[in-house]
A and B are shown apart, each in its own frame.
Chain A
């Protein structure tokens, strides 16, 4: 449908610097990197509060008592794999293979969904065992930090899905290309944050 307008957008962005136009796609990627820095500071703040409140269980259950590591390891494995499949999607895009691109994105979304459902199951079990967000400062910090990561993953899922639809409609062009690159950057970022969650929240707690 809107093919010609796409071309319009993309040719405009490669007009050269002199119409005062600059490299639109490049600017967007740079803007996204800066956004990631701000997001990183947000997570950093959450990690800092978690570390401060690490021992503030106020006589309630501790993490070491309730965490079930096999589930967490499975979550980790799934998220790492999804990061890998999103990388494969970008490779397919660079080869110009739209079908493979959409396919790998779909796999990524499915993996992300199973990550989220495992996480929700974990939360429900914990609540069932008597640790909810208002049990103690420790649990407040736990749910906030891990939940914020989960919220980010969920936003990513909606976002990737929206891009898949756009790819189906418009094909691979500079605009959709940039969108795929950015979303996969975001997805890798969530992976890195999760490694920190795994280490600081779970491993350091149970060891």
Chain B
């Protein structure tokens, strides 16, 4: 009996590595600290009522941002561990198995649990305000999406200390990820962690499409929408077309592993190549899903800080749509070398190069917007400026990779690693940072310290080039990706050391950002409603926005309606008439999304360990939650006019 328990425990808890014991201890300490603090300050009801059950898109957005910054930390630590290992030849800091686990979790976490939720956070924080709406189309579903992401991410993360991490790369190609080669539970954590959060992403896609199509303020025609809203629409359209493919692909992999199926096995007629096609039919559009909103953010920022209307609005919209459509016809460029044939390769090489055209259009439009503008350079604008050279170089090396014959050389080398980090960090991460800096005062009602922000900016940017430029060279010198060590004789030593130093510089940049936030909370400087002299609707309401966002819905004719309104008022014209106050209809909070997602966690955990006694109650719980929601008719309430008046007066009194 005792032996059985011991054996079980040694499989269940990952043991034998000091790094993991360290993680165990820090997780336990953090949990104890959080529970004690919540109990001591009697904050449990506050947590439940104000946050866990909220359906307010602004709060959901904040929770997304916090969760994704935590994931950025975890993914960043992974990155630095890898870079430490690679800093010197023949290093024995990480074992090869551990290295495999780390590059897998790093990739998954950065893309699915850092970039995606940060993006959803910005959708939530900005879109309803920017289109003059009081909420998203489906507030309940919105909260459910968040909690599914959250519990999915947690399920993926516990694999580190319970059961063991996946180690077959961030896209988990079979047969490596099949039962024969990966018998452990790591792959199952991968499947269910991503599956659960992926369902949330799909629902967010649907939610924001309906929100944007149906809830714009009267007068805001489609071709008058702010550019960020357009980019979110195109990103969400891409989500609803791409994510179903991911859902199915993971389900098929699960059927192979769990029910002994043969979709992707090497025997009994299975076809691993089919997985690679399917996963990239999702994977390539996914890259554009995360970059399109960054384009939207840059368009907003460049117009605001150039004090000019965005150059080439129509071509910008067209470029967004062109990119999201073309992104579906390029997937095979990820496996030029796998014997698909010259004609197929040629087709995908050409479609890939075509994407460079609309992207180039956008870059030129941003430059033309700045040309002869009245420029200013606060932090959001700095990130925008840092992005342009980074993205141009990343785009060019991407075109180099898209030349099929050349790819036989670059394939799976550090050249590729440098390329995609250049677009992912320089485009996605810098883009979302810019967005966070830009909308921060609107969301939280206070400004972030500019000086610390500039330190962060320079550390990230310089660190970036120091880290990744040497990697292009290393790639050309023959260093392949996913190697955990190399010999002195290769001559890769100095460049790898430089690259590692660059990685740590970016780490310092991150520390500056955390410091900046803490510092700005401590020495809080209240932000006015319109701190940047903005152009779009979100700047017309108090910071932070009241629960109901807009006391009365504006009629937003004209592309930069708020900007034009300010000009009109400056010329002494009366402000546009607003309708009189009416009671505001709002959705009620609900605990169901949180509880239902927790049941998903239970079900997923049960399936990971093959414990039906746990999985089945989990699924029953999910169904019961759905029915409970369906039977609930008391889902909304009204905010009376008096209360709106009080809230608005208080906001005005705060010295806007």
Contacts and interface: CB of A to CB of B under 8 A. Distances in A.
Nearest to A32: B206
Contacts of A28: 138
B252 A144 contact: yes
Interface string B246-266: 011101100110011111010
Interface stretch (A50-58, A64-72, A98-106, A192-200): A50-58
Nearest to B554: A20
Contacts of B271: 52-53, 56, 137
Interface in A26-44: 26-28, 30-31, 34-35, 37-39, 41-42
A133 interface: yes
A163 B579 CA distance: 39
Residue from A134, A137, A165 whose CB has the most chain B CB atoms within 10 Å: A137
Nearest to B582: A19
Interface in A1-24: 2, 5-6, 8-9, 12, 15, 17-23
A144 B255 contact: yes
B214 A22 contact: yes
Contacts of A81: none
A23 B550 CA distance: 18
A166 B631 contact: yes
A114 interface: no
A136 to B, nearest CB: 5
A134 B214 contact: no
A81 B262 CA distance: 35
B270 A137 contact: yes
B111 interface: no
Contacts of B248: 42, 45-46, 49
A27 B137 contact: yes
Nearest to B245: A45
Contacts of B96: none
Contacts of B399: none
B134 A20 contact: yes
Given A19-B584, A45-B248, A158-B623, A140 B262 contact: yes
Interface string A146-167: 0000000000001100110110
Nearest to A179: B630
A17 B240 contact: no
Nearest to B216: A22
Nearest to B555: A18
Interface in B267-296: 267-271, 274, 278
A31 B240 contact: no
Contacts of B630: 159, 162-163, 166, 179
B602 interface: no
B636 interface: yes
A186 interface: no
Interface residues of A, number: 53
A170 B134 CA distance: 29
B631 A162 contact: yes
A31 B140 CA distance: 13
Contacts of A52: 271, 274
A12 B636 contact: yes
A138 interface: yes
A190 B287 CA distance: 32
B209 interface: yes
B269 A57 contact: yes
B633 A58 contact: no
A201 interface: no
Contacts of B202: 38
A85 B265 CA distance: 43
Nearest to B242: A41
Contacts of B217: 20
Contacts of A30: 210, 213-214
A175 interface: yes
Given A41-B244, A45-B244, 18 more contacts: A19-B553, A19-B583, A19-B585, A20-B132, A21-B134, A21-B585, A27-B137, A27-B215, A34-B206, A41-B240, A52-B271, A57-B269, A60-B268, A133-B255, A135-B268, A136-B262, A137-B271, A165-B631
19 contacts: A15-B585, A19-B553, A19-B585, A21-B134, A27-B138, A30-B213, A31-B207, A31-B210, A39-B244, A41-B244, A56-B268, A56-B270, A58-B267, A133-B261, A134-B261, A137-B263, A140-B263, A162-B631, A166-B630
Interface of B: 132-134, 137-138, 202, 206-207, 209-210, 213-215, 217-218, 240-241, 243-245, 247-249, 251-252, 255-256, 259-263, 265, 267-271, 274, 278, 550, 553, 579, 582-585, 623, 627, 630-631, 633-636
